[in-house]
Amino acid sequence: MQAGETAEIDPARTAAVVLVGGQGSRLRPLTLTTPKPMLPTAGVPFLAHLLSRIAAAGIRTVILGTAYRAEVFEGFLGDGSALGLDLTCRPEPEPLGTGGGIRYAADALAPGFEEVVVFNGDILSGVDVRAVVGEHRAAGADATLHLVRVPDPTAFGCVPTDPTGRVTAFLEKTLTPPTDQVNAGCYVFRRDVLDAIPAGRPVSVERETFPGLLAAGSRLQGHVESSYWLDLGTPASFVRGSADLVQGAAPTAALPGPVGTALLLPGAKVAGSASLTDGTTVGADVQIGEGARISGSVLMDGARIGDGVLVERSVIGPGATIGDDTVVTDAVVGDDASIGASCELLAGVRIWPGLVIPDGGLRFSGGA
């Protein structure tokens, strides 16, 4: 196989591991009760979008490396047959880090799987999985990393490669990065290489596994793409990713409706004079009042939005209520919170679940 070619994936040879064990602390209060990969994103749990991409690539066996609220994954996904997958959840007995988590999850795979494709469960990506596997095979690599080019690499660790695509270093964040290529959170491992990761203790794949392989002279390949890529770790990126999915900017086969300016789930009731724009998702049984304007936001199931409300780039949690003429911009309102009329929630404010804010023109900005 030549470099740059896509690979046919044999489901008896290639399996996937998805790491979904993190607590999602940067997304609190949304993740107080729901793991980040299970948050409703464009109408379905984010993980459904990722799994749809894995299935589309031809992979059938998937191990979920779980930890935080593991029972939520098992309750929703079952055995994966509804998604065309053979899915197993493998809860970590203790926090094992990225490398340790990959090793522990992959231990559940049968011996016949020679390649393991690893995904971080909070990355929204348009990665061509077959192309990454194809480059891995063509290079005869021990491990291959999906790399993306970003406008500002100073915010990331960089991964330079030589003209053949071979990884030459793993660099921490620097003000003068030598490349705009960064680790995109998708890897292909030869099974024997993955099995050599130490078991039973925390291991960082970024700080220990990959640098150790480089030091040992192993072949690490970088597959560089300019495809869509977004880490959904913050409220701002979460709402952006959801909006991009609704509008078709990010690929998925799991969108529960047509691509468009807004997505409405069953039971949603929107007043005739209300407007929904910029990839807004309106969850099941949401009610939106007259003159409300909702832009680029996620309204989760059962939310109530009053008359004249403005919601921009925000998340309104399930069962939350927003009173008439209130403004919510770049904010998060937690489950079952109640926001009174004529309030302003601005600039990163986070309202915890169940909190009640009375009417009266109250203004909140920053953290909460």
Q: CB-based burial of residue 123 (10 Å sphere; 0-12 exposed, 13-18 middle, 19+ buried)?
A: buried
- Among this protein's residues, is 173 annotated catalytic? yes
Residues 6+ apart with CB under 8 A from 201: 96, 100
Q: Which of 297, 239, 232, 302 is nearest to 265 (CA)?
A: 302
**How would DSSP label each residue in 1-13?**
--TT------TTT
Residue 114: alpha-carbon gap to chain centroid: 26
**Which residues on neighbouring strands pair with residue 166, listed in sequence order?**
221
Which residue matches tokens 């996937």?
Answer: 16
Start-to-end CA distance of the chain, whole Å, equals: 54
User: Which token pair is 296?
Assistant: 């680029």
CA nearest to 294, candidates 26, 283, 267: 283
Long-range contacts of 273-281 (CB under 8 A, 24+ apart): 278/243, 278/247, 279/42, 279/242, 279/243, 279/244, 279/245, 279/246, 279/247, 280/243, 280/246, 281/40, 281/42, 281/43, 281/242, 281/243, 281/246
Q: What DSSP character marks residue 166?
A: B
Task: Let me know: does 138 contact 230? Beta carbons within 8 Å.
Answer: no
Catalytic residue among 25, 84, 107, 173: 173
Q: CA triplet 23, 27, 31: central angle to 5 degrees?
A: 55
Longest CA–CA span in the chain (Å) reads: 68
Quick one: CA dihedral 123, 128, 133, 137, positive or negative? negative
Q: Which two tokens stand for residue 358?
A: 């009375």
Query: Is-contact 118 243, C-beta < 8 A?
Result: no
Helix, strand, or coil here: 357?
strand
**Catalytic residue list:** 173
